[in-house]
Amino acid sequence: MNDSEDAFFNDWKRFVFIVVGEYEYENETKRALGSRHVMMIAIGGTIGTGIFLSAGSAVSLAGPGSALISYIIVAFFCYAVVICLGEMASYIPVSGSFASFATRFVSPSLGFTLGWNYWLQCELTAAAIILQFWTTKLQAWEWALVIIVPIFAVQLIHVRAYGELEYWFAMIKVLLIVVFIIVGLIYDWGGIKGHPGPGLSNWHSSQAFTGGFSSFAQTFVYAFYSYGGVELVSLAAGESQTPHKTIPRAVRATFARVIVFYVLVILVIGLCINRRDASLLNAASDSDVAASPITVVFVRAGFGAAVHLVNAVLLTAVLSATNSCFYASSRMLLALARAGQAPRVFGWVNKRGVPVPALLISLLASFLSFLTTIWDNALVFTWLINLTGISALLVWTSIGVVSLRFRHAWTAQARPLADLPYPQPMYPMLPVGVVGLAVLMVAAEGYAGVRESTPVRAKNIVATYIGIGLYVILYGGYAVYDKFVLGSANHFVPIDTVDLDTDAVWGKGEGTRIREVERMEVEERERERRREEKGGGGYYGVWAWIKRVVKEL
């Protein structure tokens, strides 16, 4: 082999295989997501198919009271996670988000584990979503072709195409959920003529809390599956136009969204449908939209045609969730590759800022996940739910640890809090609460797995903790690789060398000055707008208003 061939081989090897070190890429992702896109991505990320099909499973399992408490606890958990992420992502907006933060603030092993764990979680979530939507009319792999391929094609266009699609998907889902809550409450209170509502009867006679603590603990699996995706807004920060403005606005509204879209939905389902109702018992495994608790409430309230409406919105939810999964998994793989924790080829993006190789491998993984349907679909779906649920719990727990480490480094390096676009409130209560709640929930899941059947079955324990096993294997494997192959001197990043400057929205001590300049620019634009409207009046004032609205959209 001559020198030129040897150089070519070495360049090819560095590009394809995992190689730690600097590598220059020609193109970068584009900051093309506007404020309205980020806001709707934050909303749409919290509304998956779980809320349409399997939300009633928690009610049937442990009663409406237990389900409501479970969803409230996980709501606070999610709120704390998103606030912790928002603080870091608004200051350092990168595509890899929490995986990149873990590598920089804690250790490369944790970043590697979170990145690959999340990538796999996204792929399995997409599979679970489509399995849940599957009917006997089409096989699961056929649904994969119908749903995944068009979404993949949209992702290849531009990040703005993803944002625009997600914007309208989220809008449709939000409208249906709001209408459902209003109709459900009116029906329950007996406000619809000819359709007497149940009132509080489904909560009487010890029906609100059934099955004991083990049943209550099992409801957390459905809650985590339903809430999965709240972290998506932090991944979008890397391609947001003004992340230090849009990310804080998006995370501030998280709590209100979670309360409206989950807690109120679970409350309405528990009020309107008895826990022993066959529709709730079948909802988790029956993909027929008629089994959806949301459809059941509409039908019993006298809106029989709602079956078709919910079916259309359910398809929208599947498309939206698949759209988000492709985006999240490809951006996470992109970040891993550029950190030297995945083959370098996945760090390549085209001139439009699209990570084509990362998208292609995500497409392949999505199809491969459907090979599992040669077994029983219900069994596969159950294992996917357990794996994605515990994976989400582990990722969120790690985010709490990363947040604590970030703040520790921030203080150790004498950084002013004024430099943070969004300093989290009540620090350190939120990240400490995330870690504490997670430990309790992991223990509760194990207890539920042991008590689920008598005698104790090993498969229940394995199904509960399979995600933890994957987490340990990833972390331990990379820790050994980092120590003995890469020869790293420190497992944890020394606190005084934590990188708080790369990709930051501004330099040390510049936060207050830049925000003041931006505030003055906003005030000047507002004064200019008022002068135009006052001076133009009539037709010109209306035309100026229309142009401003179009520009904002």
CB 320 within 8 A of CB 348: no
**CB neighbours of residue 64 within 10 Å:** 28
Question: Which pLDDT value is given to residue 8?
Answer: 45
3-state secondary structure string across 158-192: CHHHHHHHHHHHHHHHHHHHHHHHHHHHHHHCCCC
Residue ranges in the chain whose pLDDT is less than 50: 5, 7-9, 11-13, 15-21, 284, 286-290, 538-539
Condensed to tens digits (0 to 9), the pLDDT of residues 56-97 reads: 778 888 888 888 898 888 888 888 888 898 899 888 888 878
The token pair that represents 81 in the structure block:
């996670």
Which conformational region is residue 509 in: left (phi greater than 0), alpha (psi within -120 to 50 degrees), or beta? left
Condensed to tens digits (0 to 9), the pLDDT of residues 345-357 reads: 888 888 888 888 9
Which conformational region is residue 538 in: left (phi greater than 0), alpha (psi within -120 to 50 degrees), or beta? left
Q: How far apart are CA 270 and CA 60, in angstroms?
A: 9
CB 395 within 8 A of CB 121: yes
Q: How far apart are CA 447 and CA 489, in angstroms?
A: 40
The token pair that represents 361 in the structure block:
């491998």
Condensed to tens digits (0 to 9), the pLDDT of residues 279-315 reads: 776 554 544 444 678 878 888 888 777 777 777 777 7
Question: Which pLDDT value is given to residue 549?
Answer: 57
Q: How far apart are CA 365 and CA 116, in angstroms?
A: 13
Helix boundaries (H) for 339-457: 356-368, 377-412, 429-451
Using DSSP's 3-state secondary structure scheme, residue 533 falls into helix
Compute the Cα dihedral for 468, 469, 475, 476 and give only its sign.
Answer: positive
The token pair that represents 441 in the structure block:
């929930």
Which residues, 6 or more positions from 190, have their beta carbon under 8 angstroms from its beta carbon? 196, 197, 199
Instruction: Report how far apart, in Å, the C-alpha atoms of 499 and of each of 90, 104, 235, 406 are.
Output: 16, 6, 19, 10
- Residue 510 belongs to what H/E stretch? none
CB 264 within 8 A of CB 75: no
Q: How far apart are the first and last CA of the chain?
A: 58
Between helix 159-188 and helix 35-44 the angle, nearest 10°, is: 50
